[in-house]
Amino acid sequence: MIKQEPIPELRLVLLLAMLIAVLSSVPYLYGLAITPPGYSFLGLTHNIDDAAVYLSWMRQAADGHFFIRNLFTNERQTVLPFNVFFLLLGNFGRIAHIPLVWVYHICRVALGICLVAAAWKFSRLFLEEKRDRLIFVAILGVSSGFGWLMAYNPQARSIDLWQPEAITFLSVYLNPLFLVGQILMIGAFYWLLMAERDGQTRHAIYAGVALLLLGNIHSYDVVTVAFVWIAYIITSAIAARKLPLRTIKLSIIAALVGVPSIAYQFYVYSANSVYRARANSPAPSAELYWFFSGYGLVLAGAIVGMMLSVRDRRRSASNFPLFLIAWSIIGFAIPYIPIAQQRKLIMGLHIPLCILCAYALGIFVRKGGWIRTLAVVLFVAATIPSNILFLSQDMELLSRADTAPRYAPFMSRYELAAMHWLHENTKVEDTILAPPTFALFVPAMIGRQVYYGHWSETPNYAAKRNEWADVSLALSEGELLSGDLDGLSIKYLVHYKALKPINLPPELVKVFENRQVLIYRYMSTRSNR
């Protein structure tokens, strides 16, 4: 039996987790501190286009919707998905009367702490010594790879420089969806391993519930769980020279509990062309050597840990070390299966690598005195620089009122006033054509749909953004003709006064104006969607 959690150790783990969460929040505090007069910080620093999508889902939930529409397009959508995680966040914001971006960050910090605690709990299956588990927590919370050594090279694609789902600290920094996904992955694996060890059906059901939630909240991770667990069963069977029939039976029970959410996602994928286009937008994995670079010293330590765990397994009846090895190897392979958004499948790999690395470091420090302890401290410190670089680059961009990629982190009081007017005076079905950052945040802030807004959420995004650019240029040059906007099926057009629109066609009726923003209602002779 697994012993009850040692409370002093758990307190130390939670303290480390809180420290990690606080450090990950520094760029947001910096953004607040440098916000120019007359502007508001949007509360986002990196990949804010993806965060805007999550906020749009929360906005719809806060507005009373159960199913999620893609508000970054005005194309017709039939069968709609839902996401229980963002339903909870949106309704929490509505009930507590808290701005949704605050809810987003409260959740990010809370789930960051929970992820570290859950990973520590999971590590107790493999690491017997308290010292080893604390080393694991430290490595998991702060480590990155060799990306900082090649940051001068713009062609470098080391994943610790740009792929936050691959690195735990960057996940805590940026994305509560990544955090809840990894917590559920850990839960599924934990209860599957418990079911294998104890043979209890209830443990298989617990694993199935984790898979059920995971399939709804972040479906890609179910692929990782399935591939890793199948690989583990196969390697266990080979090692034992017999088929683990009881484990297979319990695994089938877990799969049956979890399959409804995945089945519904496939149903939505087959019936909703907009959802299908989003899922098929390309997000390829980097070359394998960039994955190796992105994990750096942790990967080197994990390889040593694999060899040591195989050696030590001969003295133990447990198959658990095989599980970590299976997850580590399969984790590098599945991001190359032939699906469009394959790079998302790297998520979670950092966890087994850190456990194996901590196992190796624990053995190293066990055989020596303070010099070896110091060497381990220096080892952990040497894994930090890429994370520091990542945050410092984001803060430097914030100081220039920019983010990666390309969207402004601040909105003026005039832009926010225009956003408020749209919220109060438009209908849910009205389509808005606006400049890029404004268009990105219309779904997130006010729950209205835009003609274009997000590189993967908007079908044919590049072409539609070019259409907006053509319209904006034609307005400023007096070349927008009557009927030119009919094919876009828009109801409102947002335009910045700096571009000085002239010779407007009669269909454009000004309905809002302040010192920076103009809003026109498009009175087309054709019916708008």
- The tokens describing 501, both together, are 């629109």
Phi/psi-derived region of residue 449, left when phi > 0, alpha when psi is between -120 and 50, beta in every other case: beta
Average pLDDT along the chain: 95
The proportion of the chain whose per-residue pLDDT surpasses 70, expressed as a percent, equals: 97
83, 217 Cβ separation under 8 angstroms: yes
Separation between Cα atoms, residue 525 and residue 501, nearest integer Å: 22
Q: 470 and 345 in one domain?
A: no
Phi/psi-derived region of residue 39, left when phi > 0, alpha when psi is between -120 and 50, beta in every other case: beta
Phi/psi-derived region of residue 407, left when phi > 0, alpha when psi is between -120 and 50, beta in every other case: beta
Q: 457 and 384 in one domain?
A: no
- The tokens describing 220, both together, are 């890609």
Q: 443 and 329 in one domain?
A: no
Which of the pair, 142 or 524, is modelled with greater confidence?
A: 142
Please, which residues bridge with residue 149 across strands? none
Please name the amino acid found at residue 296. Answer: G
In this prediction, residue 3 has a pLDDT band, given cuts at 50, 70 and 90, of: low
350, 291 Cβ separation under 8 angstroms: no
Mean pLDDT calculated for residue range 488-508: 94
- Domains in the chain, number: 2
Sheet holding 431-433, edge to edge: 449-450, 431-433, 492-496, 517-522, 508-513
Please name the amino acid found at residue 308. Answer: L
Q: What's the pLDDT tens digit per position in 374-421?
A: 999 999 999 999 999 999 999 999 999 999 988 999 999 999 999 999
495 φ, ψ (degrees, to nearest 5) = -140, 140
294 φ, ψ (degrees, to nearest 5) = -65, -25
The SS3 call for residue 496 is strand
- Examine residue 445 and state whether it is found in any structural domain, yes or no: yes
- The tokens describing 338, both together, are 């032939």
- Examine residue 45 and state whether it is found in any structural domain, yes or no: no
Q: What letters, b where the CB count within 10 A reaches 16 and e where it falls short, cover 235-255?
A: bbbeeeeeebeebeebbebbb
- Examine residue 488 and state whether it is found in any structural domain, yes or no: yes
The SS3 call for residue 317 is coil
Judged against a pLDDT cut of 70, whether residue 510 lies above it is answered with: yes
- Examine residue 2 and state whether it is found in any structural domain, yes or no: no
Q: 422 and 393 in one domain?
A: no
Q: 369 and 245 in one domain?
A: yes
Mean pLDDT calculated for residue range 261-278: 97
- Examine residue 52 and state whether it is found in any structural domain, yes or no: no
Q: 441 and 390 in one domain?
A: no
C-alpha count within 13 angstroms, C-beta hemisphere, residue 464 = 26
Where in the sequence is the domain holding 460, given as residue range(s)? 412-522
pLDDT the model gives residue 87: 99
Judged against a pLDDT cut of 80, whether residue 367 lies above it is answered with: no
Question: Which DSSP symbol is given to 261?
Answer: H
293 φ, ψ (degrees, to nearest 5) = -60, -40
Q: 268 and 343 in one domain?
A: yes
- The tokens describing 443, both together, are 């779904």
Separation between Cα atoms, residue 489 and residue 479, nearest integer Å: 20
Q: What's the pLDDT tens digit per position in 105-127?
A: 999 999 999 999 999 999 999 99
How do strand 517-522 and strand 492-496 relate by DSSP bridges?
antiparallel
- Examine residue 119 and state whether it is found in any structural domain, yes or no: yes
Q: What's the pLDDT tens digit per position in 461-488?
A: 999 999 999 999 999 999 998 889 999 9
Q: 309 and 450 in one domain?
A: no
The proportion of the chain whose per-residue pLDDT surpasses 90, expressed as a percent, equals: 90
The residue among 346, 368, 397 that closes a domain is 397
Q: 331 and 442 in one domain?
A: no
The residue among 397, 431, 464 that closes a domain is 397
Please, which residues bridge with residue 522 across strands? 508
pLDDT the model gives residue 529: 42
Contacts of 518 (CB under 8 A, 6+ apart): 494, 495, 496, 497, 501, 510, 512
Q: 363 and 463 in one domain?
A: no
How do strand 431-433 and strand 492-496 relate by DSSP bridges?
parallel
In this prediction, residue 310 has a pLDDT band, given cuts at 50, 70 and 90, of: confident
Q: 387 and 249 in one domain?
A: yes
- Examine residue 213 and state whether it is found in any structural domain, yes or no: yes
Task: With CA atoms as reference, report the closest residue to 288 among 350, 354, 335.
Answer: 335
Q: What's the pLDDT tens digit per position in 51-77?
A: 999 999 999 999 999 999 999 999 999
The SS3 call for residue 433 is strand
How do strand 517-522 and strand 449-450 relate by DSSP bridges?
unpaired
Task: With CA atoms as reference, report the closest residue to 444 among 432, 485, 516.
Answer: 432
Judged against a pLDDT cut of 70, whether residue 318 lies above it is answered with: no
H or E element in which residue 494 lies: strand 492-496
- Examine residue 86 and state whether it is found in any structural domain, yes or no: no
Mean pLDDT calculated for residue range 435-439: 97
Q: 318 and 434 in one domain?
A: no
Judged against a pLDDT cut of 90, whether residue 91 lies above it is answered with: yes
Please state, in angstroms and as integers, the Cα–Cα distance from residue 156 to each residue in 142, 143, 228, 380, following that order: 21, 19, 29, 23
The residue among 334, 363, 397 that closes a domain is 397
